[in-house]
Amino acid sequence: MTRLLIECSYVFDHHDANSGIQRVVRNVIRELPDANSSRECIPVAMLDGKLYRVLSLKPLKTSVWSLTSLKTRLEKMSNSFWIRHQSLERHTPFTQSHFARRVLYVICRLMALACFSIPIRLCDRFRKKTESPQRCIPLQHLPGDQLILLDSSWHANFFPLAEQLKRDGVGIVSVIYDLIPLTHPQFCDAGLVRVFNHWFDWIARTADGYIAISATIRDQVREEMLRRVGRTQVAQRWFDYFHLGSELDQCSENSRIDTNLVQLFKGQAPVFLMVSTIEPRKNHGFLLDAFERVWASGSQARLCIAGRIGWKCEALIERIRRHPELNRRLFMFNTLDDNSLEYAYSKATALVFPSYVEGFGLPLVEAMQRGLPAMGSDIPVFREIGGEFMAYFDLNDPQNLADLVIRQETSGVFPAARHVHEWRWLGWREASNQLVERIVFHKNRFSSVMETHEADSP
């Protein structure tokens, strides 16, 4: 029997995180197929240089729950603190003096260390001592196991453990969500670019196979591998992809829909919804440019931006908060839960998604699976997912999107070749099965090739 060790270390340690990768990890783990005679799927976490079988991704309701919640709140406060620091740097005297910026940074660094970094580390230390053994148990690896790096492992420090597992006969498979820090570093923090590049170098040397979340990214990974390790090494690895599911997994009967969101959808005007973290590559500025043209034409269409505030977006957030249409035809929600997001998908007129680059585009399938048509930037991965069921616009011309919005509003007909109700997509159970089946297929194929090679050797 082949054991697939599905790594979920970050989500295990950050249960409240709900961005794209964390949503994928949670749903894939939840929907892993049951064991059969040929394979068994085991969620695992690599903690402090050791391998553990994960019994529960969610924290148990014990006395240490307060430490888990406190750590999450401190991490959110730390993120907000550094966003405010970046905003402050854009004002006098910091724009005119390198020395002033340096002094500001040192002061903020010391404050963050005392108020956030040290308390977060203390929470982590005490929480792991008391909680982790209840949620996971040690796991002994076996030759022939396959370690599937499903989580966001580029920030992790488990490289030595993974290398030891490989020496002991464990195969390594890397799930690749995108190569954006390599292909579009201008949209990323410089620290992430360095960390991701180091991680990809390690993955290029270590992994036996690579499974992306779209055919578009699979092809990019193969090209990057050719550039880094050469054709001979690439011929010894396998490359594939699986597609993501669409259900929102954190809806709760006890959660109330945001009252301001409900009020937004009470009017008769069409509402165009944008769902994503607010960061440069999501291209919210282009969206505002397009809708300013829509409003200038006399349209009453509303734009609803839903997503947490990310990085390198201070000027954009300031533009939104000072916009004359804010809370009239422009609305922003930064803390919607899955219940409110489900409500928005069900009530909106269309999704708008003007990203420069994506690995997949999870909001697209979430929206379209619910019958909400989508307008997206004309990039390869959106064509892969949406086909003829989406409307596409040129990122070089905001008027192109404005025309689509006006056409939708005036005609009531969505400007795509085929109706979204004819579109079908897989759920998370099918996505998880697809991931497992393709890995097992390549593992068996690779084993057969190696056996043939050994039999042919003198």
Q: Residue 362: give its domain's CATH number.
A: 3.40.50.2000
Same domain, 265 and 376: yes
Q: In this predicted structure, which of 250-254, 295-299, 427-431 has the lowest mean pLDDT?
A: 250-254
For residue 286, being part of any structural domain is answered with yes
Inform me whether the pLDDT recorded for 452 exceeds 60.
Answer: no
Say yes or no: 295 and 432 in one domain: no
303 against 155, higher pLDDT: 303
Spatial CA neighbour of 31 closest among 317, 427, 458: 427
If asked whether residues 215 and 363 sit together in one domain, one would say no
- Higher-pLDDT residue of 456 and 390 is 390
Is residue 251 one of the residues assigned to a domain?
no
Same domain (yes/no): 212, 157: yes
Q: Rounded distance, CA 214 to CA 382, Å?
A: 10
Residue 254 within any structural domain of the chain: no
Mark whether 74 and 115 lie in a shared domain.
Answer: yes
CA distance 444 to 169: 15
> Is residue 250 domain-resident?
no
Residue 344 covered by a domain = yes
- What pLDDT, on the 0 to 100 scale, is given for residue 271? 96
Which strand ranges, in their side-by-side order, compose the sheet holding 209-212? 136-138, 50-54, 39-47, 2-7, 146-149, 171-176, 209-212, 238-241
150 and 120 belong to one structural domain: no
**pLDDT surpassing 60 at residue 418:** yes
Number of structural domains found in the chain:
3
Does residue 109 sit in the same domain as residue 219? no
* Full domain range(s) for residue 322: 259-422
Instruction: Provide the sign of the torsion angle of the four alpha carbons 153, 156, 159, 164, taken in this order.
Output: negative
Q: What is the pLDDT of residues 116-169, one digit of tens each?
A: 888 877 877 766 555 555 789 999 999 999 999 999 878 777 899 999 999 999
* 109 within some domain: yes
In terms of pLDDT, which residue wins out, 391 or 133?
Answer: 391
Enter the pTM of the model. Answer: 0.81
- Residue spans of alpha helices (H) in 168-297: 180-183, 190-206, 215-235, 259-264, 284-296
Residue 238 belongs to a domain = yes
Are 89 and 95 in contact, with CB atoms under 8 Å apart? yes
Same domain assignment for residues 115 and 225: no
Task: Indicate whether 414 and 433 sit together in one domain.
Answer: no
200 is a domain residue? yes
Decide if 266 contacts 404 (C-beta within 8 A): no
CATH of the domain at 45: 3.40.50
Predicted local distance difference test score (pLDDT) of residue 93: 85
User: pLDDT-based confidence at 67, cuts 50/70/90?
Assistant: low
Q: Are residues 40 and 11 in the same domain?
A: yes
The pLDDT value recorded for residue 18 is 63
Picking from 107, 130, 153, the residue at the C-terminal end of a domain is: 130
Q: Are residues 343 and 291 in the same domain?
A: yes
Instruction: Record the tokens describing residue 32, joined without a space.
Output: 């892993």
pLDDT for residue 456 is more than 60 = no
Sheet strands (E) in 33-154: 39-47, 50-54, 136-138, 146-149
Query: Same structural domain for residues 215 and 350?
Result: no
Of the residues 130, 146, 170, the one at which a domain ends:
130
Q: How confident is the model at residue 454, as a pLDDT?
A: 47
* Residues found in the chain: 458
List of residues 6+ apart from 420 with CB closer than 8 A: 368, 371, 372, 373, 374, 389, 414
Mention every residue, 6+ apart, whose C-beta is less than 8 A from residue 151: 7, 8, 9, 10, 11, 21, 25
